[in-house]
A and B are shown apart, each in its own frame.
Chain A
Amino acid sequence: MTARELLAGGLRIEAHKQRSTKAPIRAASLVERYVIPLDQHSGLPAVPLVKPADRVRMWQPIAQPAPGISAWLHAPVSGEVIAIEPRPAPHRMGAPTLSIVIANDGRDERFDNAAAIVSFEQISPNEACEHIARGGIVGLGGAAFPTANKLESSLCENGPQLLLNGAECEPYISCDEVLMRERAEDIVFGARALLHALCSPNCTIAIEDDVPEAQAALRQAVDKAADPRVRIKVVPAIYPAGGERQLIATVFDAEVPHDGLPADIGVVCQNVGTAAAIARWIRDGQPLVSRIVTVTGDGVREAGNWETRIGTPFSSLIADCGGYTERMSRLIMGGSMMGTSLSHDDLPVVKATNCIIAASALDLQPRGLEMPCIRCGNCSQVCPAFLLPQQLHWYLQPFDGGQLARHGLLDCIECGCCDYVCPSQIPLVERFREAKPLLTRELDAHLSAHAARARFLARNERLARLEAEHRAKLAEKRRPKNEPTS
């Protein structure tokens, strides 16, 4: 398919999901060591509650959230903490980050989590948020933002509308699709818990129009729950329809302010995987210690979705898939449009690991030689933020901060659509990604210069005023002496 056949209203892009959705979800093999990075969620790294040589049981809390935005971490297996040290992490592109390393004793002795199992209707919404936090629940769509923090910041007077994101628009990723097929009831359960926690009037589950089986399963689960607040909304399978802001625009026909959050327009968006994780936590007492990971691509022998404990090395999952093929050439965490490419597979699965692509040249279609921009405008036709990428590219060389700001460089969501359709094969997103911090710095400098000027002028004015007052007072003092007394 050529670029132009895909252009109409977004980017219709080959999904590459059939291979990984053939088989049902399988459990990934257990390994000897689990590596749990402390900073695998957005916000601040968690603070360890254990030290080396401690024994931990499965599901036991091993790190607590730092003040602010942070999340709990739990042991995925029972065993011994053998180290708390920097280990390479996939969300840091392979750079080392402080991690708890647990040696698996293979016994899966459970931590007593009975208290975790609560009946949601009996606790207050605030308690519900706190309870969700203790489950270590973070957004499973890829950003890993702590769910409790998001819920707290979304609380509003009449309760925000809840949007469950099942629009898995990025190619290759199918963990949400299989989740909806096989565990739709968990999702609906989690949705109802979230409705309670948010005092939300209704919940919309968004699902793409190209996954009929998942739709059917979800519909069945919703019917079974017979909760009039929960409804399903089918959205067109256009990349990046599943981006939070794009999905909100599709479902509610409203835009999130560029400098605001969905909560500002009374919406809170959660991934369907997050809802299912909440269900497991409050129904079964299982904190977020495992997730479904899609392993696919022409670089592995067998593709599939694996229920994987957090901390499992990528290499073990690859082995579960029968190992690499000879064509294997690039390892990607995430989808083919926004995923991170990694240099090796000795990295642990983290809460944000939704997909591992072992890509071959067949998947990748090597980029052609970069040519100058011919301003064809394909990029601006597909940009979901309505930007003019060709103009942004023009103003990058040389760097023109004013124009870049005017043209909304900071509103770029780095979805890669412009890159995909560019006939000149310009790596636009990479350039934009590099330029954003430069622009932010320039804007900050501009703002602080502006503030400094204002303070300088105000000070000068104040000094002048004081001086004038002082003179007036002196004059006042002198006057009675000169004036004749009566």
Chain B
Amino acid sequence: MITALVTIVVLAALAGVASVATAGAPREISLADRIDALLPQTQCRRCTFEGCRPYAEAIARGAADINQCPPGGERTAKALAGLMGVEPKPVGKEFGVVPDHPAVAFIEEDACIGCTKCIQACPVDAIVGASRHMHTVIAADCTGCELCIPPCPVDCIVMRPAPAVAR
């Protein structure tokens, strides 16, 4: 009798402690959120999806493989493989080349005609400018997705090595 009582009291106490201890713990987050957190957020669409988040959702529902992200390279592919519990594999060649060094877009300002096409193309709002005024890329905000290059009618956007992060 006493044994049973004590056991119940102890278990209840433990449950209480556990619930208090985990009260501040983060809520359950979805698989897509966890995949998204591992992606580099370049929004470059080389994975064939409309951005990192859609790619994450596609992986989560099994519609995409883990090796479709060239900007993330081997690291991201490995991390995704770990999360999904599959064998790691190199980034598929059909999705593009893994860059050696992060790059950012740069507008050759003498040539820019102020057409705003690149501004509309930039997925992360990293290009500023106004119609018929010169545009410029905010290097710190550029993810190097290269989506601004094809729309430019005068081919004045080039990729340059990303500046070292100033500390």
Contacts and interface: CB of A to CB of B under 8 A. Distances in A.
B67 interface: no
Contacts of A458: 125
Given A449-B40, A449-B41, A450-B41, A455 B167 contact: no
Given A458-B125, A459-B123, A452 B141 contact: yes
Nearest to A457: B53
Nearest to B166: A444
B165 A451 contact: no
Interface residues of A, number: 16
B124 A455 contact: yes
Given A458-B125, A459-B125, A453 B53 contact: yes
A456 B165 contact: no
B31 interface: no
The contact size tier of chain B is 10 to 19
A153 interface: no
A130 B133 CA distance: 43
Given A449-B41, A452-B43, A459 B124 contact: yes
A456 B141 contact: no
Nearest to B122: A459
Interface in A431-486: 440-441, 444-445, 448-453, 455-460
Contacts of B140: 448
A456 B40 contact: no
A456 B123 contact: yes
B32 to A, nearest CB: 13
Interface string B19-56: 00000000000000000100111110000000111000
A444 B36 CA distance: 17
A441 B165 CA distance: 8
Given A449-B40, A449-B41, A450-B41, A456 B167 contact: no
B53 A456 contact: yes
B53 A452 contact: no
B41 A453 contact: yes
B36 A452 contact: no
B126 interface: yes
A452 B41 contact: yes
A444 B167 CA distance: 10
16 contacts: A440-B165, A440-B167, A448-B143, A449-B40, A451-B141, A452-B42, A452-B124, A452-B141, A453-B53, A455-B124, A456-B43, A456-B53, A456-B123, A456-B124, A458-B125, A459-B125
Interface of B: 36, 39-43, 51-53, 123-126, 140-141, 143, 165, 167
Interface of A: 440-441, 444-445, 448-453, 455-460
